[in-house]
Structure 1
Amino acid sequence: MALQLVPHFDLQVDVLRWLRAGTEGRGEGAGRLCVLEPNYESLHVLNVERNGNIIYTYKDDKGNVIFGLHDCRTRQNEHLYTFEKDLQAVSCSVNSERTLLAASLVQYTKEGVRNELQPGSKCLTLLVEIYPVNNVKVLKAVDSCIWVQFLYPYAESQPLPQNHLLLISEEKYIERYHIQITQEDGNRVVIKNSGHLPRDRIAEDFVWAQWDMSEQRLYYIDIKKSTSILKCIQFCADESFNLMVSQLSAQLVNFGCDTCQGQEKFGNHQPSLCVFTNHTGSLCVCYSPKSDSWEQITYSVFYLHKGYSKTFTAALRSADSCVTKGITFLNIGYYVAVYLPGHFLHLLNIQHPDLICHSLFLTGNNKMINILPHHPLQSLTGSLILDRCSGKLYKAFLNQSDLMWFLWNSSLDCEKMAALHCVLSCGRDPGFLEGQIIQWISEHVSTCHSFDLIQEFLIASSYWSIYPESSNIDTLLPYSSVLTWNTEIPGITLVTDEISLPLMKVHSLKGYWAKLNSNLEYVKYTKPHLYYHNSMVRREWHNLISEEKTGRRSTVYVRNILDNAIKVISYMETRNLEPRLIPLFQEEDNHQRLLMGLMMSELRDHLLRHLQGIEKKKIEKMVLDYISKLLDLICCLLETSWRKHSVHPWVLHLDRRGSAADFEVFHLMTRILEATDSLCLPLPPGFHSLHTILGVHCLPLHNLLHYIDNGVLRLTETTVVRLMKDLDNTEKNEKLKFGIIMRLPPLIGKKICRLWDHPVSSNIISRKHVTRLLQNYKKEPRNSMIDKSSFPIEFLPLNYFIEILTDLESSNQALYDFEGHDSVDAEFVEEAALKHTAMLLGL
């Protein structure tokens, strides 16, 4: 299944066995066990505290209510307290020192429904000194249910002189009690001034409340003038609180108890509302209204950190499908899981919710969701999931193996896109994951029509490689290569609405609040987005290449850019110590090194401008990680294809024909070139040389030259030198060499021509020499007669032309001594002209 629930606590295993073992240890026989056995059916979880300890309750054979605690660290159980009355516990909490116990108990009829008519049916909220006095103080005695919760200012258990207790009532008010404690006679802990406990009113007339035990946040909703206002109070160590206000246009749910009995009572008629946050500063409100439809179901997600909401309507499998359970919202890090048992599982990307294709929608026909429990589930902080009915606590995470299976077997582009991002966000074993994804890409590279699969993989994987280092990266680096998505997703309709951004009134912007504020500032003031793109790099790169052709480049500037490229390549080689099969990083591809160095410079400057408070060295390392990761992914794509098709090392020999394996690697390299070229991403040095050599093997001459003319194959000096030296002068090879030489830039062409000892090459050299000599030549009348004895062959036009060149060379020695002439003179021109003429005439 895509969403895997790993058992963290099991009431039957971790508690029930201990209870039975304790009964046997007290010497009670089998008959006694039989008496106790039915009462253990009342065993259920009541609360999970911030430190992970789990409070549970059950009844003994006399109906007494017993409270116990399971320590999540030691995996040990501890008896807390016993109430010798036949009551039903609806809420319970213990302070971090385990010296005070707060509990709410209600009298129920045999049918499990609260008795509103009989006298004495009030809800008792009690505060108990656990050790050693056992004094009991009644905090409330009312007709409505009350939920209790001790505040834990610190995650670790530390002795505190004062405890704070929240009381949340069905009568729509929230109070906080301040409990002073003191020690007497050694270890005895008692409540100071228990006759009068100070308290303050936190909220009144709310309609819904939710407690975040890990972050010690209380969310509640007020209705003011037909507008729903969400408020949040975070109880900090200094007893101050943070306040955030936001307006929601939705009819919300009244607060009620969420015990098993309450859930069974309300069933699917109760609407569902959850608030989820994570460490990146996201804030989501998930809401599912009451629905009796058997054809479709609707829910909304308010992305408060983005400024908009999305309302999803999902078609159910068939018109006669009965919805017996309500929607469950689960927080699993970068995703919110929306689960309707037997019908669908939706994984909503809350970090990047802009495009629907980044969320995964699984239907009830998919085997990946049928293993999930059909019981109502409650999402706790830190990806913890509580199944109150079975008494099990799970840790939820995305299952990489199942997502990879889905990736291999999905047919829709939207499913491939979403599954790819889900897999990459897991991040537990990135090397293994990327190897599997690359294997999948090598077999499905041409199956996606809505997006470029290679582009998406390169951008998304490089993004995730540095994302954990800075949560603000999601606003600075592209997460996806796709900018818009208009393709419909089967069974899902979506409506997007703008909402007002939260109004924050925070005493100090730290931690989560600072990141949320950063997200809100980004939405308010940043237009257009701050995503890095290579447009500046592309322009500067083309300028440098143009200057290279004309010889006008700034030497110092280019040297700095190439130094950046050396850093990237060295960093990449140190991270990958294993030798590569493919012959890359073995040549000086100056154009790619320029692009690599420019990208490092631009990306570093971009992050320095917008990542305030982060050291320059750390940002430079992030840039090196990002670019080297990008290059490494390209190498891995080639390595995988190389191994898959068993390409032999002699592929680099130019005197052989290409095989089917060579063509497959050539095709993949062409797709990689297309993907990186449109984004102006650098390629590993040696890529173009290998690509061209494979092209020489696999393509007919006219196709090869056509690929070169259209930029699909890009000639490097290393490749052309090998072609000139390794290929013999057969008719076919002569045409190839001549076609390539004619397409070289002037500076490289002049150098390459001298490597090919052939009339065509000599003719090209001669033409360039003559052009240089005659560019400022002015024709003057000549009276001298040609001395035929000085020429070996009587060919008057050529003899006359050579005499002019000889005079120019002798009269202007400085012009003649230009750099790299390599003994090119009038005599060389004459010899080259004669050889080329003889070759053309077939003599």
Structure 2
Amino acid sequence: MHYTYTEKYTSEQYNNLENNYDSLRVLNVERNGNVIYTYKDKGNTFFGVYDCQTRQNELLYSFETNLQVISCSVNRERTLLAVSLVQSTEEGRRNELQPGSKCLTLLVEIHPINNVKVLKAVDSYIWVQFLYPHVDNHPLSEQRLLLISEEKYIEQFHIQVIQEDGNKVVIRNPGHLPRDRVAEDFVWAQWDMLEQRLYYIDLKKSRSILKCIQFSVPENFTLMFEAPLDISLNDSGLKLVNFGCDYLQDQEKLSTHPTLCVFSNKTGILCVCYSPEFDPRKQITYSVFYFHKGYRKTFTPALGSVDSHVAKGLTFLNLDYYVAVCLPGHFFHLLDIQHPDLICHSLFMTGKNATIDLLPPSPLQSLPGALVLDGSSGTLSRALLDLPHLLQLLWESPLDCEKMALLHCALACGRHSPLLETQVIQWISENISTCHSFDLIQEILVASSYWSIQPERSNADELLPHSSVLSWNTDIPGLTFVTEEIALPLMKQVHSLTDDWAKLNHSLDCVKYAKPHLHYNNSVIRREWNNLVSEENRGKRRSAAYVRNILDNANKVISNLEARRLEPRLAPLFQEEDRHQRLLMGLMVSELRDHLLGHLQGVDKKELEQMVLDYISKLLDLICSILEASWRKHELHSWTLHFDRRGSAAEFAVFHLMARILEATNSLFLPLPPGFHTLHMALGVQCLPLHNLLHHIDDGVLLLTETAVTRLMKDLDNTERNEKLKFSIIARLPLLLGQKISQLWDHPMSSSIISRNHVKRLLQDHKKQPRESVIDKTSFRVEFLPLNYFIDILTAIESSNPALYACEGHDNVDAKFVEEAALKHTTMLLGL
């Protein structure tokens, strides 16, 4: 697996520095993405900031001495600089700053350069971090600074600032800075710069308890949850994660310690990745605690080639919806942390496919926003999955589980790239029969539609299906894993939760109270749609307002779809009314809208309506795109809808693909683009022998639309084969449609069909009564007594019930027509 590294912060990137300094090191990354760095020149120690927005550097402060820097942070306005350091000579010997101290923590006024205040002078290391609350761009009157001590406590300083002489910012009452004790007696801590959260672990009776503190405005800080972790941690030392580059810790020693990382995102995900002490001579395992799902998975991967270099520990990288777990040269795992229920949604690779470009062998720090910090070189990079390489693996992978994982990864990471989706659809159209464990068409329809509405913004993650697969029991090569239930986090703050905290709390409630899956499925509208179609075929009508509302929903979907379509379609779709598909489309809009309204709280109705339209439009567009990919492949660009010619091999291939699309959508009960069945029928007439064609119609593979049958009657002449085809088609139509279509075919067989339907309708409620004929037989041209008697009965029924002719489709059909049709048909059959 390759990585794309962008925004790589090395000495070459700082373009307004006079020289490239080998001593340049990244110290910290602040919430706004700005990078704090230091470098040395001519015995001086300089501190600078790289603004990621303007891509310019700014010198913050300098000391006229050679210093060894532990930690550094700058406030949002760049008026205060906090720095923790030790003073050392060129030979590396430490000079005591004052008796008993080895670390000095300073607070510097830098706008303009003014006072320097000593915050700590202690014999233990201190790390510093300014808080960046979500506020407007107005300067804050109070700045808050965290101090993390090697002695296992964290303090928060409240720093009041005032402006003097215009823009001069100074500390108010620097001799007395209020402070709070945030945490103490912890063995591990991690800082989330984007969400301004502190995760830490303390040991209670040999149990590891994970806690989270949220810093926000106007609250000071809030303990959000406590969660027990079934892991082995000891009290031998302190391990910090994401508090800047820690150059003082012994990397060789740390590489053998347990690795622990917490990952979260705005959809309410909370997971902990844990790897015990690393020993390449032993079996390697790691665990992932999916707290938002209520279980943990412990993975034991097979290692790659023994000739590969051995890295100094596992690396966990945060890639938003995924966590990458890699041991360079041995394996690369891409874990779907948003949807971990199905193991096939995660990618597990070994050998040559697990190579990672430019990834150093030393452990890396994973920062939010997919940033990666290499502590050994002080290099900050942004890690992105290389989508072209994902597609290459998708084309080459022989395993269904890898195809599933790669498909989902490509759709999730490239959902804003139309070109990538086009390439995925092309792959599907050419590999339609290569997967045996799942249906490729179903999977892209469900997954791509899910990602198209960006569930992290809509809070619809648990309401819309993300996969067509419900279970996966096939083993993953090179991997064993165990799933265990875990104790859920105890939320300490449950009132007025916002955003991802509310989503996490909702997920925990679903696990805690074993709430059923709320994923929408189309099965609930199957019965209503079948009833509507059946009623229309029998000539019955529902409430006009009800049907009109459903069809209006369908019109909105089609208008929404066409408004986002820039290029003309290759396949002749959306060129007819196709009432049945519009009914299904409109019912889906109503049902999906009601489903989301019933479970989403606080979502604007117009926004929800648009979400529903976008979702169904995406479904239809995907079906069109899959069909057009095959259309383009087989060069059917100038194809027009005709029934009167034989089909080619290319048209048969498209017909087969349409049959697969129909099979996929039928089982999910999804609507099809209007015109799909007409096009499919046209290709079937051209490509299939008559008996196969009729078999496909009887099995429901081909559906007889009014447009298709009308074109068939007009396009085909009356050869023997075509007569059989037309008769067979008309005989399979619903009564009302059959009567309407029969009148388009001027043929004795058509008249016979019309007569049969007319007689059936007249006699279905007729009760035989003894009576004498009152009809003047001299009016008939042929003396054929059985027929005369039958026509006598029909005429009597017609004359006694004129209302029978009010139904559409019965114009000019009466007993006289039946008599003439019977005689013509008999003559034809006898060859007279």
Question: TM-score, normalising length from structure 2?
Answer: 0.92
2:29 corresponding residue in structure 1: 48
Give the drift of 1:731: 1.1
**Structure-to-structure mapping, 1:56-95, within 5 angstroms:** 56-62=37-43, 65-83=45-63, 87-95=67-75
- Would you say 1:615 and 2:604 are equivalent positions? yes
**Structure-to-structure mapping, 1:91-490, within 5 angstroms:** 91-106=71-86, 122-130=102-110, 135-154=115-134, 158-182=138-162, 189-243=169-223, 244-252=225-233, 254-256=237-239, 259-262=246-249, 264-294=251-281, 296-319=283-306, 323-366=310-353, 369-427=356-414, 429-467=416-454, 470-490=457-477
1-structure distance, mates of 2:767, 2:112? 114
Q: Which moved more, 1:593-602 or 1:317-326?
A: 317-326
Whether contact under 8 Å (1:162, 1:178) holds in the other structure is yes
2-structure distance, mates of 1:811, 1:186? 104
2-structure distance, mates of 1:835, 1:527? 68
Instruction: Report SS of the residue matched to 1:365.
Output: helix
Return the letter of the residue paired with 1:569: I
- Would you say 1:535 and 2:546 are equivalent positions? no
Instruction: Report SS of the residue matched to 1:234.
Output: strand
Q: Which moved more, 1:74-83 or 1:763-772?
A: 74-83
> Deviations 1:733-779 (Å, cap 9, x if unpaired)?
11111211221111211222222222222222222333344442425
Whether contact under 8 Å (1:294, 1:319) holds in the other structure is no
Q: 1:125 to 1:718 in 2, by over 3 A?
A: same
Give the drift of 1:266: 2.0
1-structure distance, mates of 2:407, 2:422? 13
Return the letter of the residue paired with 1:252: L
Q: 1:74 to 1:826 in 2, by over 3 A?
A: closer
**Structure-to-structure mapping, 1:715-754, within 5 angstroms:** 715-754=704-743
Q: 1:685 to 1:295 in 2, by over 3 A?
A: farther
2-structure distance, mates of 1:468, 1:825? 61
Q: Which moved more, 1:655-664 or 1:164-173?
A: 164-173
**Structure-to-structure mapping, 1:788-799, within 5 angstroms:** 791-799=780-788
Q: 1:831 to 1:166 in 2, by over 3 A?
A: same
- Would you say 1:562 and 2:551 are equivalent positions? yes
2-structure distance, mates of 1:502, 1:385? 28
Unaligned ranges ≥5, structure 1: 22-39
Q: 1:830 to 1:189 in 2, by over 3 A?
A: closer
Q: 1:95 to 1:793 in 2, by over 3 A?
A: closer
1:3 corresponding residue in structure 2: 3
Give the drift of 1:830: 2.6
> Deviations 1:320-375 (Å, cap 9, x if unpaired)?
65533211112122111222222222221122111111112232411652443334
1:778 equivalent among 739, 761, 768: 768
Give the drift of 1:682: 0.3
1-structure distance, mates of 2:91, 2:333? 36
Whether contact under 8 Å (1:208, 1:221) holds in the other structure is yes
Return the letter of the residue paired with 2:423: Q
2:791 corresponding residue in structure 1: 802
Return the letter of the residue paired with 1:317: G
1:645 equivalent among 625, 634, 641: 634
Whether contact under 8 Å (2:6, 2:383) holds in the other structure is yes
1-structure distance, mates of 2:142, 2:776? 118
Cα RMSD, aligned residues only: 3.0
Return the letter of the residue paired with 1:443: E
Identity %: 69
1:31 corresponding residue in structure 2: none
Give the drift of 1:448: 0.9
1:34 corresponding residue in structure 2: none
Whether contact under 8 Å (1:342, 1:370) holds in the other structure is no
Whether contact under 8 Å (1:325, 1:341) holds in the other structure is no
1:20 corresponding residue in structure 2: 19
Give the drift of 1:791: 4.4
1:658 equivalent among 640, 643, 647: 647
1-structure distance, mates of 2:773, 2:491? 97
Q: 1:650 to 1:222 in 2, by over 3 A?
A: closer
Instruction: Report SS of the residue matched to 2:459.
Output: helix
Instruction: Report SS of the residue matched to 1:382.
Output: helix
1:512 equivalent among 500, 509, 513: 500
Matched residue count: 821
2-structure distance, mates of 1:446, 1:668? 10
Give the drift of 1:623: 1.0
Q: 1:154 to 1:541 in 2, by over 3 A?
A: closer
Q: 1:785 to 1:275 in 2, by over 3 A?
A: closer
Return the letter of the residue paired with 1:802: I
Q: 1:161 to 1:781 in 2, by over 3 A?
A: closer
Return the letter of the residue paired with 2:34: N
Return the letter of the residue paired with 1:412: L
Instruction: Report SS of the residue matched to 2:17.
Output: helix
Give the drift of 1:77: 3.5
2-structure distance, mates of 1:743, 1:136? 93
Instruction: Report SS of the residue matched to 2:218.
Output: coil
2-structure distance, mates of 1:42, 1:180? 34
Whether contact under 8 Å (2:27, 2:378) holds in the other structure is no
2-structure distance, mates of 1:657, 1:520? 60
Give the drift of 1:168: 1.3
Give the drift of 1:678: 0.4
> Deviations 1:635-692 (Å, cap 9, x if unpaired)?
1222221121112645522221110011011011001000100000000111101101
Whether contact under 8 Å (2:131, 2:196) holds in the other structure is yes
Return the letter of the residue paired with 1:248: L
Give the drift of 1:542: 1.0
- Would you say 1:545 and 2:500 are equivalent positions? no
Give the drift of 1:213: 1.9
2:481 corresponding residue in structure 1: 494
Q: 1:589 to 1:818 in 2, by over 3 A?
A: closer
Unaligned ranges ≥5, structure 2: none
2-structure distance, mates of 1:161, 1:809? 95
Q: Which moved more, 1:304-313 or 1:191-200?
A: 191-200
1:26 corresponding residue in structure 2: none
Give the drift of 1:792: 3.5
Give the drift of 1:715: 0.6
1:28 corresponding residue in structure 2: none
Q: 1:782 to 1:285 in 2, by over 3 A?
A: same
Q: 1:827 to 1:185 in 2, by over 3 A?
A: closer
Give the drift of 1:95: 3.0
1-structure distance, mates of 2:501, 2:818? 78
2-structure distance, mates of 1:139, 1:311? 44
> Deviations 1:45-79 (Å, cap 9, x if unpaired)?
221222333222334454x5443333334444344
Whether contact under 8 Å (1:231, 1:245) holds in the other structure is yes
Give the drift of 1:477: 0.7
